[in-house]
Structure 1
Amino acid sequence: MDKIILNGNDLTRHQVIDVAFNNAKVAIDTSKISKSLDYITKKVKEKKIIYGVTTGFGSNSDKLIETKDTVDLQLNLLRSHACGVGNNFSKEIVRAIMVIRLNTLLRGNSGVQKSTVDQLAFLLNNDIHPVIPEQGSVGASGDLCPLSHMALPLIGEGEVEYNGKEYTTADFLETKEAKKIGFKKVTLSYKEGLALNNGTTVMTAVGTIALHKAEQLLKVCTLSSALIFESLCARKNSFAYEPIHKVRNHSGQIEIAQWLTKLLNGSKLINISQKQILTKLINTKQIPDEILSEIEKINSVEAEDEQIQVPGLAIDKMKAAGKSDLANMLTFAKKKWKPQDSYSIRCLPQVFGASKKAIDHVISVVDNELNASVDNPLIFADDDKVVSGGNFHGQPIALVMDYLKLALAEMGNITERQINKMVDTNTNDCMESFLIYGTGLNNGLMIPQYAAAGIVSENKVLVHPASADSIPTCENTEDHVSMGTIAARQAVQIAENVEKITAIAIMTGFYAISMRLEQFATMKMESSPDKTLAPATLDFYNAVKESNKEFANANFLKTDRYLSPEIKSIHAKFGEFAKVADKYLK
C-alpha cells in the first residue's frame, strides 16, 4: 500500500479513515516547518514577549518566563494538562487524532522541530498509540487535555498501547520491541507543548469518524428502506416521479429519490395495483365460485389507475370458507385502493434528503478543518509576526457535530417507524402480527421493535446540542468554550445507535419480504426472489441471508429464536451492505 503523503494542505477524510481503520502508513513533507521554528527561536533569544513561549498560559499570561525555563514551561504544560478521565478513545480514533495533528503541524505556523513531527509519524507508522481518555475537553482552547495525552509519549511519559497491550511509556521504552523498532523520546523546543496540545484536532478526528459512519449509514438505511418498500409493494410515484421533487427543488430530496429509483429499478413488487392482485387471485383457480364471481365483477369495473374499493363482504365470505390466505390477499388488494402510502414510506426522500444535505454541510466544514492551522499563538515569519488569536476555538466543529447528531437521529426516528409499521398487522398490509406465524404461541419481532424504540428515545437525549452550553474556565480568561468534543463524541454514539436501529430494520425487512413472497407462493403467484426483487435489493437480500445461517432455514418465520445474535451479525455486515449500495448508486 502506498504511503499517504502529509503536507498540511490536502489531507482528506477518506485518508484519515484509511489511517484509522486500515493502518495506512504516512510520509511527511517537512519543508514548511523550519521557517517558523527559526523565527520563534530567534524571538526567544531576543527576549521578546510571546504568549505561551515566554509567558505563562491562560490567566497566567501576565507572568514572564526566563529564557532558561522556556523548555520546562512546555513540559509542564503537557504534564499538567494530561488529566483526562473516563474510558479511553478507541485505537481508530487515536490514529485519526495523530494523523490530523501531524498534518496541522506540517502547515508551518506552529514552530515545531523536524525531530518532533518525525517521531509522531514514527509512532503512527509503527502502531504505537498514545492512551487518550475520552473526557476532559471543553473545546477551547481546543482539546488541551486529550492532546496532552497524545503528546506525552513523545517525551517518554504517559501511556501507550502496542499490540493490544498498554504500557507506561517509560516501561515500553525498556522493552525489546521498542528498542528493536527504534522508539526514542524527543526534547521539546520553545513552543512545542502548545503546538502539540492546542487545537481542535480531537473533535475533528472524532467528527471524521462520525461522518464516515453517517455516510455509510445513509446508504445502508436507504437500501434497507428499499427492501421494506418492496415488501409493502409500495407506490412508485412518491420517489420515482421526478417532477414532484423538482417543484420543491431541494437537492438532497432529489438525490435520495434518485437513489431509491436506482435501488428499486427492475422490481416486480413495487407499484403493484389492486387490479393486478385481483387478476392474479382469479387465475389461482382456488377461489369458491360464489366469491369468484364477486371478484370478477369488481375487477371488471373501469377506474382511474385501476383502483377499485373491494367490499368487505368478499373478504368475510373468504374467511368463512376457511380461506384465510386468500382473505389476506383480498384484504391486501383492498388496502391498495388507498392512493398513498404512510409517511415513513412516502416521505423518505424528504426526510433522508434533509439528513443528506446536513451531512454534506458537515463534510465541507470538517474537510476544511483537516487542513487548518488551529493552535495559538500562530507564527507568520514572512510578516515578522506571532499572533495570539482564536483558531483553537471549536465552535465551527461543535455546531456541525450537533447538526450531524440531529440528522442521524432523524434517520433513526423514521427507520424505527418503518419497523413498527412492519410488525403491526394493521399497517403491514396483511402480513402476520410481528411477522411470524402462530402468533400467541410465537412472539416474532415484537421485542426488537421495543429495542429500536428504546434506542430512539436514548438518541433524543443525546441530540440535545452540546454547543448550546459554555462554562467559563481558567479564572474566566477563557470565558466562552465550544463543547465541540462532547458534540463529536455524541455524534459517534448516535451514529452507532442508528446502526443498531437499522440492523433491526434490515432483519425486519428480510422477514417481511420472505413472508410476502410466501403469501404469493400460496396464491401460485411469482414468489422467487430472483424474479421479483430489484437487482440491488436481491443482492442485499442475499447478503443478509448469508449473514446468518438461520435465515436459510425455511422455519425462521414459524418459530421463535434467540434474536440478538442475528441483529449483531447483520450489524457486522454494514460495510458489505454499503458496497452493495455503492454498486447501484454510481
Structure 2
Amino acid sequence: MTVTVDGETLTVEDVFAVAREDEAVAIDDDAREAVRAARERVADLLDSEDAVYGVNTGFGDLVTERIPREELDRLQVNLVRSHAAGVGRELAREEVRAMMLARLNTLVKGYSGVREVVVDHLTELLNEGIHPVVPSRGSLGASGDLAPLAHMALVLIGEGEADVQGDAGVERLRGGEALATARLDPLDLAPKEGLALINGTQLTAGLGALLVHDAERAVRAADIAGALTTEVTMGSTAACDRAISAVRPHEGQAASARNVKRLTAGSEIVESHRNCDRVQDAYSIRCLPQVHGAVRDATTHLREAVATELNSATDNPLLYPRERVDDYASGTADVAVLSGGNFHGAPLGHRLDYLAGALADLAAISERRTDRLLNPNVQEDHLPPFLAPESGLRSGYMLAQYAAAALVTEARARGRPGTDTIPVSGNQEDHVSMSAQSAFEARAALDDAVTVLAVELCCGTEASEYVDDDLSHGVGTGAAREAVREVVDPLTVDRSPAPDIERVDALLAGGLLDSRVREAVSNDLA
C-alpha cells in the first residue's frame, strides 16, 4: 500500500507500515495546496519587513537580533548546522523513518511555511531508502526534538551523512552523495525552512507510535503467557468471568479477562480441576485481568496522545491567515504569526513515563508467575522443583527466574519519571520536557518486560510437559505451546537457559507468537 500524508489522518499503523515495512509515501493534493498557501504567507511577511521570530530574527535568547534581508537564507543554514549537536548511539533505521514521516506530516498541514520542494525531498528520502545518520541523544523535548531533527535536515542540504539502501546492501555516504543516488539536489534553504524542519516533537512522536504498536502486542503476549501459566499450574479462570469485570468496568481489565477465556477455550486441563478444593489462586494468577488491564489502559492513553501529536502543527512560529486568529494586532502583513509552545513534549512525555511504570509492573507480575512455576515452596505437586528432572542433581530453569528478577528491577528503575527540566538558551527556554528521554526509557522498559514474558513462556511450556498427556490445552494456549516448542526443546538435561530465552524473546519481539496465537483463536483477541 501507499501511505498518503495529509496532515490530518496519519495513524500509529501508518507509522509502523512506513518505518518497519518500507511502505511508500505520497502527499495528498489538498495538502500540497496548503503547503503552497503557507509559503505565500512567508512571502507576504518578507515584503512587509515585520520582525518575525526565526524568519528575520535570531533564535532563542538571540531573538532580539534582527537579521538583514540578504542574510536570511544563510540564517536558516546556520541554524541547521549549529543545532546538529546530537550525541550517543545512532537512531535505528526504523526510528529515523518514523521521525521523518512524522515531520513530513506536520509540514504538510500548512502552518510551517516551507516550499513544496522541501516536502518532496523528505518524501523521496523515505521512498528511496535514504536515512540520515542521527545521534539519539541531545533533544530536550522543547523546542521539540531540535538536535535529532537538525541531523535529519543536514542531509537535505547536502551535508551530514546518510545510510543508503542499494542492491549491494547499505552504504554510508555524505549527504550530497546520498541525495545524488535519488537524483536530488541539495536544498538551498529559504527563510523559515530551517526552523520549520527542526522545531517540533517528531522524534518523540515517532518513537511513541512504534512503542504503542509494540506495547499493545506485549500486553497480548502477557495474556497468553499468563493464560498458559494459569492452565499448567492448575489455576482457575473463574477470576476472568465477565461478571467480575462487569461490576468494575475498566475497558482494559475486561479485555484481558476476555482474552484469557478465549485462550483457554476448550481446555480439558482447566476443566479437570474445576471442582477442586482450592478456594482461590494467588494474586499473580487471580489479579491478571486487573494488572494487565491497567497496562492496556496506560497504552491506550499513550495511543490517544500519539494519534493527536502525529497530526499536529508543532512548529514555532505558526503562520495563519489573519482572519483565522482572534485579536491579532501585530504587524502590517495580511498574515498572523503566532509564537506558542506546541513544540513542548509534555503531552507525550508524561504519558510515556506513565507507560514505562506500567510496563515495569507487567514484568513484575510475570516474574511472580514464573516463580510459581519453579519455586518448590509454592508450586503445585505435579511440577518438579525448578522444572528439573532429577532436581538437586540438576537445576532446570532456576536461573531463568534470576534473569527475570534482574530485569524487573531494571524496568522499575526505568519506570521513574523521565520528564525533567534544565533551563537552556540563556534562560529563554527555561522549562523543557525531556520527552525523547522518556520515550527511550519506555522502550527499554518494554524490552525488559518482553524478555521477562519470554522467561515465563519458556517455563510455562516446560511445565506443560508434566501435565497429563490425555488432557488438551486451550485453543490459544495450545498454539502458544506449539510455537515455543518449535524453537525450544524440552529440558531433559541441564543446559544453558540463555538460548531458550533468546529464541522465545525473538518470537515475541518479531510478532510471530502473536500472529500464531491470534490465527488459532480466529483473531478473537483484544
Bin for the TM-score computed over the shorter chain: over 0.9
Structure 1 residue 489, shift from structure 2 partner = 0.7
**8 Å Cα contact 1:220/1:581 also seen in 2:** no
Q: How many correspondences in the alignment?
A: 501
Alignment of 1:317-466 (within 5 A): 336-383=276-323, 384-430=335-381, 431-466=383-418
Structure 1 residue 562, shift from structure 2 partner = 2.3
The residue number in structure 1 matching 2:267 is: 267
Give 3-state SS (helix, strand or coil) of 1:270's partner: helix
Give 3-state SS (helix, strand or coil) of 1:32's partner: helix
The residue number in structure 2 matching 1:228 is: 229
Is 1:573 the counterpart of 2:510? The answer is no
Alignment of 1:147-162 (within 5 A): 147-162=149-164
Structure 1 residue 426, shift from structure 2 partner = 2.1
Find the partner of 1:80 among 62, 79, 82: 82
Amino acid paired to 2:230: F
The residue number in structure 2 matching 1:489 is: 440
Q: Return the alpha-carbon distance in structure 2 between the equivalents of residues 533 and 101 of structure 1.
A: 47
Q: Return the alpha-carbon distance in structure 2 between the equivalents of residues 165 and 410 of structure 1.
A: 41
Amino acid paired to 2:268: K
Q: Return the alpha-carbon distance in structure 2 between the equivalents of residues 368 and 170 of structure 1.
A: 34
Deviations 1:449-498 (A, max 9, x none): 1111101111111111011x211111111111111100011111111111
**8 Å Cα contact 2:360/2:449 also seen in 1:** yes
Give 3-state SS (helix, strand or coil) of 2:33's partner: coil
Structure 1 residue 382, shift from structure 2 partner = 5.0
Structure 1 residue 106, shift from structure 2 partner = 0.3
Amino acid paired to 2:516: V
Across the aligned residues of Structure 1 and Structure 2, the Cα RMSD in angstroms comes to: 1.4
Structure 1 residue 31, shift from structure 2 partner = 2.0
Give 3-state SS (helix, strand or coil) of 2:272's partner: coil
The residue number in structure 1 matching 2:171 is: 165
TM-score with structure 2 setting the length: 0.93
The residue number in structure 2 matching 1:533 is: 473
Alignment of 1:175-214 (within 5 A): 178-179=180-181, 181-214=182-215
Structure 1 residue 203, shift from structure 2 partner = 0.6
Q: Return the alpha-carbon distance in structure 1 between the equivalents of residues 350 and 82 of structure 2.
A: 29
Structure 1 residue 185, shift from structure 2 partner = 1.0
Q: Return the alpha-carbon distance in structure 1 between the equivalents of residues 426 and 41 of structure 2.
A: 31
The residue number in structure 2 matching 1:244 is: 244
Find the partner of 1:97 among 84, 96, 99: 99
The residue number in structure 2 matching 1:285 is: none
Identity of aligned residues (%): 37
Deviations 1:292-324 (A, max 9, x none): xxxxxxxxxxxxxx5xxxxxxxxxxxxxxxxxx
Give 3-state SS (helix, strand or coil) of 1:572's partner: helix
Give 3-state SS (helix, strand or coil) of 2:486's partner: helix
Give 3-state SS (helix, strand or coil) of 1:547's partner: coil
Amino acid paired to 1:93: E
Structure 1 residue 245, shift from structure 2 partner = 1.9
Deviations 1:188-229 (A, max 9, x none): 111011110000000111111111110110111111111111
Alignment of 1:14-33 (within 5 A): 14-29=13-28, 30-33=32-35
**8 Å Cα contact 1:207/1:489 also seen in 2:** no
Q: Return the alpha-carbon distance in structure 2 between the equivalents of residues 569 and 31 of structure 1.
A: 50
Moved more, 104-113 or 252-261: 252-261
**8 Å Cα contact 1:452/1:504 also seen in 2:** yes
Structure 1 residue 582, shift from structure 2 partner = 3.1
The residue number in structure 1 matching 2:71 is: 69
Alignment of 1:499-538 (within 5 A): 499-515=450-466, 517=467, 520=468, 527-528=469-470, 531-538=471-478
Find the partner of 2:491 among 537, 542, 557: 557
Q: 4+ residue runs of structure 1 moved beyond 4 angstroms?
A: none
TM-score with structure 1 setting the length: 0.84
Structure 1 residue 171, shift from structure 2 partner = 4.6
Q: Which has the larger radius of gyration?
A: 1
Q: Return the alpha-carbon distance in structure 1 between the equivalents of residues 65 and 517 of structure 2.
A: 59
Q: Return the alpha-carbon distance in structure 1 between the equivalents of residues 404 and 146 of structure 2.
A: 37
Find the partner of 1:544 among 474, 481, 484: 484
**8 Å Cα contact 1:235/1:271 also seen in 2:** no
Q: Return the alpha-carbon distance in structure 1 between the equivalents of residues 214 and 171 of structure 2.
A: 27
Q: Return the alpha-carbon distance in structure 1 between the equivalents of residues 357 and 81 of structure 2.
A: 37
User: Unaligned stretches of 5+ in structure 2?
Assistant: 324-334
User: Unaligned stretches of 5+ in structure 1?
Assistant: 277-305, 307-335, 521-526
The residue number in structure 1 matching 2:327 is: none
Structure 1 residue 271, shift from structure 2 partner = 4.9
**8 Å Cα contact 2:176/2:185 also seen in 1:** no
Amino acid paired to 2:267: S
Q: Return the alpha-carbon distance in structure 2 between the equivalents of residues 17 and 82 of structure 1.
A: 26
